[in-house]
Amino acid sequence: MPTTKPILVIGSLNIDLVARCEHLPRGGQTVFGTEFFTASGGKGANQAVAAARLGSRVAMAGCVGDDQFGRDLLAGLRRDGVLCDAVQAVERPTGTALITIDARGSNTIVVISGANSACDTSLVDRALADGGVPGILLLQHEIPEEVNAHAIRQAHAAGWFVVLNPAPARPLTPALLPLIDVIAPNETEGAALTGSSDPREAARHLLAQGVRAALITLGGEGAFFCDAGGAWRCPALAVQAVDTTAAGDAYIGALATALAEDRGVVDSLGFAAAAAALAVTRLGAQPSLGTRSEVEEFVARHGAPVPKPIAV
């Protein structure tokens, strides 16, 4: 299905170094792994690929190293149809992520930013200028804070719909919050940002600070969405998780695709939940992300979650 608006992702590109084991090691403990593999990742690149595979027109802006990891990442993005003119090669190693996954699909992740730290405001300005008609802008927290802040200000002024996935969590500048159309932390990040582990309270807190809408993803418990018009709870699909590494990125990429097709946020939640559920049944970050036909087939088998209005 063609989209009506472009999607621009400004964010991180990483190579994931993944080890599978029966259980995650505790502090000071050594465990034997069962498998090792590498995969393309980085929250920004994952979200770009997720949206592109679902049929969106996607451009990626960020930095990679002038090394084999960087070349591999760019090749993968281009195979998925992501425009990479705004991805720069810099004199730093490509970002990497060390990921450990246990038998239940739970993970731990250590990110080494590398080239992602070289993203600057001039990169943002070029990407927005080349983006054409304003569409959906996706941002995360794996590039420098001042670069994200500049992107939010410039994109809002130019008429882009700004979606911030604040992962990993870090304090947000209060003046930026009214410029964000949807802020989408997971439950842990929402608690870190607001001090409340209750998703309803966290969402209300974010709205009170000025964001236009708050979406708290809750893993297997679904998602909670709140804006000035009300609140909705969207359940998750019950599946056997193999690897949860890119579930949130699959969700955000699908949400952006639905928004680019001029669906409302509430109507987009079920589609996003289905894309995330499909992703957790597969190994790897970008390898787990489904195409449009795969998500539609998945929905045909399992159904699409339906958001329900709730009292706030």
pLDDT digits (tens, 9 = 90+) for 156-193: 999 999 999 999 999 999 999 999 999 999 999 999 99
Q: How sure is the predictor about 109, in pLDDT bands with cuts at 50, 70 and 90?
A: confident
User: Looking at the predicted structure, is the pLDDT value of residue 194 above 90?
Assistant: yes
pLDDT in tens, 262-285: 998 888 999 999 999 999 999 888
What is the SS3 assignment for 274? Answer: helix
77, with CB counted inside 10 A (0-12, 13-18, 19+), is buried
Q: For the structural domain made of 7-27+34-310, what CATH number should be given?
A: 3.40.1190.20
User: Looking at the predicted structure, is the pLDDT value of residue 72 above 90?
Assistant: yes
pLDDT of residue 3: 53
Q: Report the percentage of the chain scoring pLDDT > 70.
A: 99
CB atoms within 10 A of CB 284: 21
d(CA 156, CA 147): 14
- Residue 249 annotated among the catalytic residues of the structure: yes
pLDDT in tens, 119-132: 999 999 999 999 88
Where do the structural domains in the chain lie, given as residue ranges?
Answer: 7-27+34-310
pLDDT in tens, 75-95: 999 999 999 999 999 999 999
Pick the catalytic residue: 72, 120, 249, 262? 249
From the CA atom positions of the chain, what is the Rg in Å?
A: 18
205: phi then psi, degrees, rounded to nearest 5: -60, -45
Q: What is the DSSP string of 97-136?
A: EEEEE-TTS-EEEEEE-GGGGG--HHHHHHHHHHT-S--E
